[in-house]
Each structure stands twice: as C-alpha cells, then as structure tokens.
Structure 1
Amino acid sequence: MTSAVLVQGLYRQPEHFIRVAEGLRAAGVDLVAPELHRGSLTADTAAVQAAVDVLAEPPLVLGHSYGGSVITGLSGVGRLVYLAAFVSDTGESAAGLRGASAELKAAIEPQTDGSTRLDASRAVDALYADRPGRLAAWAAGLLRAQAAGCGRGVPECQSWKHAPSVYVVCTRGRAIAPSLQQVMAARCDSVRESETGHSPFVGQPELVIDLVLELLDAWDAPGWADRGITTTQ
C-alpha cells in the first residue's frame, strides 16, 4: 500500500498538514488531503470518499479530531488511523460523545450567520499548547469559520468495524480529553500513545510521517499483524 489520505478536523484546512504532506510525498507516498467544511458531515464524507475512490488501491486514511467522524463513514479503505479523533459507533456523533473540552468551548465564537469561529489566542491554548510561539501562531492563523452542525452529524457506517484501525492518543491534548480518547481507542485494533498536544502534525510532523510510513510498510510485510499498545514519543 502506497496511498494515503489526510483528513483534517473542524476549523482546519489541508494546509495544516503541509509539513506532513511534504515528508510523505518525498518518501514516495501517493497523497491526497481533500478540502472539508462543505456544510455537513455527509457532504464532508462524500468529498473524502470521492478522493478514496479515484486512488489505484485502498489507501491508508488518517483522520484528525472531527476527521475521525468523516473517515468512520468511508468504504473501500485499506487502513484507518485515528489521530486524537472521534470513533463513532452506531447512532453516535462527535457532539454526542461530549468531545469538546472546556478550553475548546471557550474559544468558540458564534457568528451572525450561524457559523462559528475560534478565537485565535484561545485556540492556541486548546490546540497548540505544546507548540507556543511562531508555529502555533501560524497554525491559528489558518483556522477558518465552520458551518453549524457538522459535529452533530452521525456517520452512516462504522468503517473501523471492517478495516484495520489504529488510534493515536495525544496524552497532552487539551481539545479532546485523553480519558475520552482512551475510551474511543478501545474500539480500534491497535493503540499508540504520543506525548504531544492535540495537533502533533504542526510542531512535530516527523512523528506523523514516521507513523504513516511505518504502517504502510507493515501493511506490505508478509505475515503482517498489528495488535497491542506501544508508545511513540
């Protein structure tokens, strides 16, 4: 397997993955990072499904945060990676799992058109607390408005019940509590722990690059198996 798809969370753009994308493409990975924020979970899932369907082989699909809800609703994937992301079961939504922390809720600013934005300074504390300074400011500056209701969407299927899955718990995350991450991680085949904040692809992209390359290589290895818990620092 040499293909991968990166799926961002709420308020984010594909550009947030730029350093990961550059590293994976340099390693020969056929990579796609679709644009989300199309107004609903259903529309976002359809956009990613279209990207999956045109690839030559079932790809590894990584979803971050809300992106977990998106990848849960996909079909035809080779492998799932949930990076501090929502793993919904039948009838569950991200909002129903009570995922947003107090820090993240405090950063949300309702807009007159019904959309919401994140206050940049508060977003740094919730999303990039382990990466203060220039990188955090850059990432916060990329945040965009989000249409109402996406977090309340329910995936139409549960791909993690059919495709191999890995969950990465970000143990210093402030947007989704590590305790909730652990609950959702128990639904996956394999669990990793990363001593990072909610968005390691911003400040420590090499961790995400190395993980994806490792999983792609492992998939092609004879007698592949990936069970149990390991720790990535």
Structure 2
Amino acid sequence: MNTRMKKWFAAACLFGGLFSVQAAHAEAQGDLKGTNVVLVHGAFADGSSWSKVIPLLEARGAHVVAVQNPLSSLADDVAATKRVIDAQTGPVVLVGHSWGGVVISQAGNDDKVKALVYVAAFAPDSGVSINDMLKGKPAPAWVSQLQKDSGGFLTLSTDAIIHQFAQDLPLPEARLVAATQGPWFSGCTDDKVTTAAWHTKPSWYVLAEQDHMIDPGLQQVMATQIGATVTRVKSSHVAMLSQPKAVAAVIAAAAKK
C-alpha cells in the first residue's frame, strides 16, 4: 500500500470511528424516549434532591417528574405520588429515596408502575413499618440531632446534614440540603405498608456503602429480601446528589426491562 493509500485508509477509519461514536451518542440521547420516571424524595428533603439526576434522564429522552411529598403520613405521601402517576401517559418507573422507599412500596401497586427503584431506601414488607424494621437495633448517631417542632414534625440539624446525611457533598451543597429540607412528621415511622408492591414488580436497589442514615448492612438485607438487582456505590445517604450518574444509570436500566 503506497503512502497516499495509507493516508486515505487512515482518514476513512478515523471518519468511520467518529461517525460510530456520534451515532451511538445520538442513540443513547434518545434511548429513554417514551419512558415516564416518577421520583419520590425521602425525609429531610424535597423534590430538589433529584436536581442532578433529572437532567441526565431528560437528556436521554425520559419524561421525569419529582413528587413534592408533604411528609405528613404514609397515606398523604402515597396520595401525592399517585396523583403524579395518574397524570402520566404510559408505563412508569417509580423511584424512591430513603423514606420514599416506603412510599413507593405502597404506591407502586398502581397498574401503571412497571418497575421500582430504591435508592438507599427502606423497603418494608406488607404490614411492616420503619419502626418494626429497626426494632432492637441501636439508634444511629443522627437521631440525637433531631429537632421536633410544635406540630410533631422533625428536622435534622445542619451539623447532622453535613456530617451524617450528606457528608460527601461539598460544604456549600450540604448547607443547601439543610436549608431546603422538608420536615418529616414523627408518626410516619409507625405507618405500615398494607401491600408491598415489590412482591409483584421488578425492583432495583442502589446501595449506599457509606450511608450513616440507613445502615448499609440493613440495605443489603432489604435488597436481598425484595429480590432487587443491586448496584453498590461509594456514597453517603444522598447517592442521587453525590453519585447522580450511577443512580441515573440504574433508573435507565430499570426503564429498559
């Protein structure tokens, strides 16, 4: 092969490689088109806790809605979630973080829900509350940092947010999480799921290995019990903020099944 032919061949290979990369990128950008993703935040948070995951999913064509839970009871949060599910056209991937895992375990029985994704979340069985799951286990350090208002709603101190809830976020981000947290009614920990949707819906679990809020060992037990496909991330409790790409990838995997 002469020099001119070699140059032509190299240029053709380069062009072909670039075209393949661009085509794959374009396909990936639309691979979730037609997918509805409903995101359910947990205690001490609001819908903005999904702010880093939402654009990643939308860039791939998904229609995404973050529920704004009142955090006043399981029934109230399930009702808020079901209103969002009802508003979607087509199947829904339902995602819950922390307390949101209890909510999706109940709301996920909706016929529109095709898959459940738990992100460092509680995944109780039918007839089980958070307090039932934690009975006999030592209280984590953050419990002493809870503050209760006159209505019985709980908030976490800024110090607990920074060092226990979101310890792997930059300090300004952790302070923002503290400032925007949603107060959580103390009675929610006694609310029981009536029928756990994971018995009939395929489930995925993002296990936060550096979680100080929900013990990673308990997360593993719950993920195993519900038969979830597990992805482990080196993250604090707020994996969707510290590891948004990993969380978005799990949601995308659930959507494609």
TM-score with structure 2 setting the length = 0.80
User: What is residue 81 of structure 1 aligned with on the other side?
Assistant: 117
What's the CA shift for 1:69? 0.3
Paired-residue identity, %: 28
Work out the CA distance in 1 between the residues paired with 2:93 and 2:100: 14
Per-residue CA deviations over 1:118-172 (Å, capped at 9, x if unaligned) read: 1011122121112242222222221132223112211121100001011221111
Quote the Cα distance in structure 2 between the aligned partners of 1:174 and 1:100: 13
How many aligned residue pairs are there?
A: 218
8 Å CA contact retained: 1:175, 1:198: yes
CA distance in 2, matches of 1:31, 1:107: 33
Are 1:210 and 2:243 an aligned pair?
no
AA partner of residue 3 (structure 1) = N
What's the counterpart of residue 231 of structure 2?
A: 192
Aligned equivalents of 1:96, 1:8: Cα separation in 2: 21
Residue 150 of structure 2 corresponds to: 112
SS at match of 1:81: strand
**Aligned residue type for 2:66:** A
1:124 to 155, 162, 183: 162
Structure 2 counterpart of 1:106, one-letter code:
S
Measured in 2, the distance between the counterparts of 1:124 and 1:104 equals 11
Per the alignment, residue 65 of structure 1 pairs with 98
Q: Give the distance between the partners of 1:204 and 1:192, measured in 2 at CA.
A: 12
Of 107-116 and 13-22, deviating more is 107-116
Residues 87, 38 of structure 1: CA spacing in aligned structure 2 closer, same or farther, 3 A cutoff?
closer
Counterpart secondary structure, 1:31: strand
| Deviation string, structure 1 residues 13-66 (Cα, Å, up to 9, x no partner) | 001111211221222111111111252101111111121122112211110000
Q: Secondary structure of 1:33's partner?
A: strand
Which of 85, 93, 118 does residue 129 from structure 2 map onto?
A: 93
Q: 1:154 matched to which residue of 2?
A: 192
Query: What amino acid maps onto 1:209 in structure 2?
Result: A
Output the amino acid matched with 2:124: S
What is the CA RMSD across the aligned residues, in angstroms? 1.7
The structure with the largest alpha-carbon Rg is: 2
User: What residue is the counterpart of 2:4 in the other structure?
Assistant: none
Task: Please give the alpha-carbon distance, in whole angstroms, between the structure 2 residues aligned to 1:193 and 1:143.
Answer: 25
Q: Distance in 2 between matches of 1:30 and 1:100?
A: 41
Q: Which runs of 5+ in 1 are unaligned?
A: 220-233
Distance 2:235 2:36 in 1: 26
Mapped to 2, the partners of 1:209 and 1:166 lie a distance apart of 12
Alignment-mate amino acid for residue 154 of structure 1: K
List alignment gaps of at least 5 residues for structure 2.
1-33
The answer on whether the counterparts of 2:204 and 2:254 sit within 8 Å (CA) in structure 1 is no
Q: Residue in 1 aligned with 2:206?
A: 168
TM-score (normalised: structure 1): 0.87
Other-structure match for 1:23: 56
- Say if 1:127 and 1:197, in contact at 8 Å, map to a contact too: yes
Is 1:32 the counterpart of 2:70? The answer is no
Structure 2 equivalent of residue 225 of structure 1: none
CA distance in 2, matches of 1:38, 1:130: 25
Preserved CA contact (<8 Å) 2:71 2:182 = no
Distance 1:38 1:170 in 2: 22
Kept in 2: contact 1:100–1:175 (CA 8 A): no
